[in-house]
Amino acid sequence: MSSHKIDLYYAPSSPPCRAVLLAAKSADVDLNLIQVKSSETQQELLRINPQNTIPTIVDKDFVLWESRAIMTYLISKYAKDKSLYPLQLEKRAIIDRMLYFDVTNFYQTYLECYYPAYFNNVSFKPYHARRVNDVFTLLDTFLKDSTFVAGNDLTVADLSIVTTVSTYEVSGVNLLRFPNVVKWYDIVRINASGYEEADGNNVLIYRQIIGDIMKKRKGDHREDKTVEEHKTF
């Protein structure tokens, strides 16, 4: 365990914050959790992070944001289990490739397909469902011949991608169409330290938030198809 507490500015429902919570569990890091809610914490965050995004950590006098950068930092610095982000360059490169896949493609697709429906009053179109299907098909292919996303060991890339999958799941993606993903998802949730506390419980808060938004939306815009009506794509 870290000998001191690391501040984490966060929201429990936020997908990138849940990813950092999960990495902190694996690294056995003791976090001082600061929910960014009050104007005081909002101003505090803006003072240390001009990009004003969560998650943001403060480790003594070192400030860092961007969830995947935080995850690899915490694991490199504090995790006893070096196989989560090994030093061997080829292994690390594959893990990095999967982290970048998550940031630029897998999670980005979620942001582009679901967030407009939830937060900008835009309807979820068959085109979005096809994009989601495509990224899941790709992930399923990556998992065809290996237990985890970057080989046969659990790594930081699994911790990142599992929180994206749980986020898609609460948005109604039918995971059963992707058998390799289902198998991997079960294994990661069992093997990742503190999974339930870091992601399993917190993704339910996210489910509640989007559930409330969609309930209201249904009342407002019956002519639009909702995300749920496309859930089996």
Indicate the residue type of 114: Y
By beta-carbon proximity to ligand GSH, the closer residue of 55 and 172 is 55
CB 119 → ligand GSH: shortest distance, Å? Answer: 11
Which residue among 7, 28, 31, 52 contacts ligand GSH (CB under 6 A)? 52
* Structure tokens, 130: 């096809």
* Structure tokens, 198: 């870091």
Is 39 one of the annotated active-site residues of the chain? no
The span from the first CA to the last CA of the chain, in angstroms, equals 44
CB 20 → ligand GSH: shortest distance, Å? Answer: 8
Which residue among 7, 66, 81, 96 contacts ligand GSH (CB under 6 A)? 66
Sheet with 31-35, strands from edge to edge, namely: 31-35, 6-10, 56-59, 62-65
229, containing H or E segment:
none
CB 205 → ligand GSH: shortest distance, Å? Answer: 12
Per-residue CA distances from 230 to 129, 151, 225, 226 (Å): 7, 33, 8, 7
Pick out residues in 4-23 that bind ligand GSH (CB under 6 A): 14, 16
* Structure tokens, 207: 């489910």
Task: Single out the segment in contact with ligand GSH by CB under 6 A; choices: 53-61, 92-100, 115-123, 182-190.
Answer: 53-61
Q: Which residues bind ligand GSH (CB under 6 A)?
A: 14, 16, 52-55, 66-67
Positions marked active-site: 14
